[in-house]
Amino acid sequence: MDESERTKALSAAPAAADDYAQAHQQLGALRSRLGRVIVGQDELIAQLVTAVFAGGHVLLEGLPGLGKTHLAKALAAALGLRWGRVQCTPDLMPADVTGTDIYVTAASGASAFEFRPGPVFAQLVLVDEINRATPRTQAALLEAMQERQVTHAGHTHPLPQPFCVLATQNPIELEGTYPLPEAQLDRFMFKLTVPAPARDALRAMLDVSLDDEPADAVQPLAGPADVLRIAQLCRTVLLGERCKDAAVDLVLATQPDPADGGSAAEPRRHIRYGASPRALQALVRAARVRALMAGRVHVDVADLDAVALPVLRHRVLLRLQSELDGRDVDSLLASIVDAWRRRA
């Protein structure tokens, strides 16, 4: 039985009551282990784990040197996933990502073109500085991220399961970069901003990673089958009508004001484009994982609240005038989420 058949069998088995408790323990252990590698970024780690088990992709944004690549490597190691890395540059071609046909001559003398998979055929793909790749190369990732397959020369190659793309981008040094189009941004479940660590975290970092590379020493806690099993369990987490209504209300709260009026304090007045229905799906999926992390088998409004900002921040576009006025998406969404939380 190969790995894919084993994971299929695992995910098809009916869940038992103990499975939820076991998944909760595993998620907690994973967060704890990653927290020992990436010091002082507990919330970032929780969001990253949430996205992975919800079956989404993550766009990490932060200044250089904050440990984005380090975190991706540690996550892949902790989950026992096969990981690949693509360092994006302006001359990166799509075939460098998806793979290409090469002419192979067998030992018997027969020669033929053979598909050589690219780095996207990994279970955890780190696309570093994705905004430095050309739009053509970025578009090559679209099918892989959404359809989880690669079509090359008329042949469709399925990607391995689980499949997760961790893309990073730098908010500065924007010369020679190609901002991601909205269609591709919408493929990312989360957009996480990597904050600068606090003083205590910086002090602890000296003890952890001054002379060593702790990400290389991370022992796997689980395998791909466990990841799929937990992801399957997350899909059975109960979602009540109250939370469904609350999720819909939150997405609708990000839609622009149709009357183009309202008071200046109305946050919707500054929104040009709101969150998509795909954002609603991502919101609920991620909230299910958060519920399981909290040891519950039912979603609460607090779970939706916890994942609202990472889900929505890259799906909401501000008006040009509001951007020129210095408003940013995060503060606007924070006010929207606060108002929604009081109503829910």
Partner 1 sequence: MAATSSSDSVEHALQQLLSAVRRHLWLAQAAAAARAACWLGAGAVLLALALHLGVTPVPLPVVPGALALIGLGAAAGALRQRPGDPACALWADRHLGGASAVTTWLELSRTTATVAPAPAARQRLECWLAARLPASRQQLATLATAHRLQRPLLTMLVCTGLVTGVLSLRQAAVPAPPAPSAKSPAATASPAPLAAADPAAADRASALARAARAAADRAAAPGSGDRAGAPANAQAPGRDAALARADARADARADDSPRTASPAQDGAGVPAPGDAPAGAREAGRAGQGSAGQGQGLGDSRDDRADVGVSRAARAPSGMPASELADRPGAGAWQADAATSARFAADASPGSRATMASLPEPAPALPPPATDGPRPSPTEASYVRAWMKASARRP
Among 15, 95, 185, 201, binds partner 1 (CB under 8 A): 15
Nearer to partner 1 by C-beta: 199 or 342? 342
Of 197, 220, 221, nearest to 209 by C-alpha is 197
Residue in 126, 162, 161 with CA at minimum distance from that of residue 141: 126
In the chain, which residue ranges form alpha helices assigned H by DSSP? 3-12, 17-37, 42-53, 68-79, 94-98, 135-147, 182-185, 199-209, 224-234, 241-253, 277-293, 301-312, 320-324, 329-343
Q: Which of 203, 242, 272, 343 binds partner 1 (CB under 8 A)?
A: 242
For partner 1, the closer CB: 279 or 287? 287
Check residue 14 for interaction with partner 1 (CB under 8 A): yes
Query: Which residues lie closer than 8 Å to 291 by C-beta, 6 or more apart?
Result: 237, 297, 298, 299, 300, 303
Q: Which of residues 18-37 bind partner 1 (CB under 8 A)?
A: 19-21
**What are the Cα distances from residue 262, in Å, to 82, 265, 267, 268, 318?**
51, 8, 9, 9, 16
Find the binder of partner 1 among 158, 179, 220, 240 (CB under 8 A): 240
Question: Is 174 an interacting residue with respect to partner 1 (CB under 8 A)?
Answer: no
Residue 109 DSSP symbol = S
Residue type, 178: Y
Which of the stretches 41-49, 90-98, 199-207, 239-247 binds partner 1 when contact is defined by CB under 8 A?
Answer: 239-247
Q: Which two tokens stand for residue 256?
A: 């622009």
Stretch that binds partner 1, among 76-84, 149-157, 295-303, 321-329 (CB under 8 A): 295-303
Binding residues for partner 1, rule CB under 8 A, total: 23
Q: Is residue 343 involved in binding partner 1 (CB under 8 A)?
A: no
Is residue 286 part of the contact set for partner 1 (CB under 8 A)? no
**8 A C-beta contact, residue 71 and residue 41:** yes
Shortest reach from residue 308's CB to partner 1, in Å? 16
Of 7 and 232, the one with the shorter C-beta distance to partner 1 is 232
Q: State CA 203 to chain mean position distance.
A: 28
Binding residues among 52-81 for partner 1 as defined by CB under 8 A: none
Of residues 60, 124, 301, 318, which one binds partner 1 by CB under 8 A?
Answer: 301
Residue closer to partner 1, measured from CB, 66 or 297: 297
Q: Which is nearer to partner 1, 9 or 16 (CB)?
A: 16
237 binds partner 1 (CB under 8 A): yes
Radius of gyration of the chain (CA): 21
Decide: is 16 part of the binding site for partner 1 (CB under 8 A).
yes
Residue among 148, 268, 296, 327 that touches partner 1 (CB under 8 A): 296
Nearer to partner 1, 246 or 316 (CB): 246
Contact stretch for partner 1 (CB under 8 A) within 9-17, 26-34, 37-45, 96-104 = 9-17
According to CB under 8 A, which one of 158, 220, 262, 295 is a site residue for partner 1?
295
Cα distances (Å, whole numbers) of residue 283 to 43, 56, 275: 17, 11, 11
* Interaction of residue 305 with partner 1, rule CB under 8 A: no
Point out which residues pair with 156 in neighbouring strands.
151
280 binds partner 1 (CB under 8 A): no
β-strand partners of 157: 150
The rounded distance, in Å, linking the Cα atoms of 299 and 297 is: 7
Site of interaction with partner 1 (CB under 8 A): 14-17, 19-21, 236-243, 295-302
